[in-house]
Amino acid sequence: MKKIVSLVFLLAMCAAAGHAQESRQDISISGSVLIPPFIASSTDIQVHSSRGFGALASYRFMITPTSALEANYGVTYQNKFTFYGPAFYGGIQVPARVQEISFAYVRSFYFKNWNPFVEAGPGAFIFLPIRNSGLQTIDSKQQTELGGMYGAGIAYEVSPSFDIRAEYRGLVTAVPDFGTGGSSYDFATKKWWNMFEPVVGVAYHF
């Protein structure tokens, strides 16, 4: 009997330890909408951009019950950037995919099944021109800009393994010129912008 009790106790301890270990990590997949703002600059270049739909994948590792480190990768299907300037009044369009690689510190708060959180950290943003019929200058090139991200959101725990997350994110970086400096079209604005990105997705804890 003592052996059975000891075995049950040992299994319970292992299960508890396994559950605690599982709860220290999660991955999430979210749908996103990237919305760059209008930019007018001192160089007489204006930038009008369309919203782009995409996806965001994130990995979190809990370092305390309320603090985590996060890694993110995001990509949009297509944003359209249109540049207006003295030499191109009609506008020059550059369709592009925007990719994000970022890292953040996440602070969470717990109210029963509702878990609000805030986060911030550094990031790199890759603007990749899409060679299709919408591209109006072949001078445009892939460009990577450094910056940062911040966000605030809320997670609702539907089970010990899954939650639903909604978040507003801001991506801060230099406005791209797609490497056109010195070409017949110079898109340089010498400005930074704050791109807006609402996301909604599902996270799995393990």
pLDDT tens across 28-42, in order?
999 999 999 999 987
pLDDT tens across 161-180, in order?
999 999 999 999 999 999 88
pLDDT tens across 96-135, in order?
999 999 999 999 999 989 999 999 999 999 999 999 888 8
Does residue 154 have a pLDDT over 90?
Answer: yes
Q: Long-range contacts of range 64-71, CB-CB < 8 Å, 24 or more positions apart?
A: 66/107, 66/108, 66/109, 66/110, 67/105, 67/106, 67/107, 67/108, 68/105, 68/106, 68/108, 69/103, 69/104, 69/105, 69/106, 70/103, 70/104, 70/105, 70/106, 70/119, 70/121, 71/102, 71/103
Residues in the chain: 206
Residue 22 is predicted with a pLDDT of 52
Residue 186 is predicted with a pLDDT of 86
Does residue 136 have a pLDDT over 90?
Answer: no
- CATH code for residues 24-205: 2.40.160.20
Residue 86 is predicted with a pLDDT of 85
**pTM given for the model:** 0.84
Question: 15: how many CB neighbours lie within 10 A of its CB?
Answer: 10
pLDDT tens across 63-106, in order?
999 999 999 999 999 999 999 988 888 899 999 999 999 999 99
Does residue 44 have a pLDDT over 50?
Answer: yes
Q: How big, in percent rounded to 5, are the helix, strand and coil portions of the chain?
A: 10, 60, 30
Q: Place 5 in a pLDDT band, splitting at 50, 70 and 90.
A: very low
